[in-house]
């Protein structure tokens, strides 16, 4: 059985070629987003409380969880 790992939560807005995704990203304590995105071992960014919109602002879906392939990220902005 796996133990629970405490993570820090960061609100972010992520852009891909087709979508704008707003939600919460979970990182290990003291882990930087740039390090996580550059890590070749992690292929996906887990996002909770996500809203996916087209680039023109039309909502595609709201979901409690999604995994985004890091190769699709074109821009990531912290949302404070």
Q: Is residue 79 part of a domain?
A: no
Task: Provide the residue range defining the domain that includes 29.
Answer: 1-42
Alpha helices in the chain (DSSP H): 33-38
pTM: 0.88
Token pair for residue 20? Answer: 């704008």
- 64 found inside a domain: no
Q: Does a structural domain hold residue 4?
A: yes
pLDDT digits (tens, 9 = 90+) for 45-64: 999 999 999 999 999 999 99
Q: How many domains does the chain fold into?
A: 1
Per-residue pLDDT of the chain (80 residues; tens, 9 = 90+): 667 788 889 999 999 999 999 999 988 888 888 888 888 888 999 999 999 999 999 999 999 999 999 999 999 998 87
CA 40 vs CA 13, 34, 35, 45, 77: distances in Å: 22, 12, 10, 12, 21
């Amino acid at each position: 059985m796996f133990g629970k790992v405490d993570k820090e939560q960061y609100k972010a807005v992520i852009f891909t070629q087709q979508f704008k995704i707003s939600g919460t990203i979970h990182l290990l304590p003291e882990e930087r987003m740039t390090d996580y995105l550059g890590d070749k071992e992690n292929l996906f960014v887990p996002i909770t409380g996500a809203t996916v919109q087209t680039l023109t602002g039309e909502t595609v879906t709201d979901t409690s969880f999604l995994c985004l392939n890091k190769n699709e990220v074109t821009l990531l902005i912290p949302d404070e």
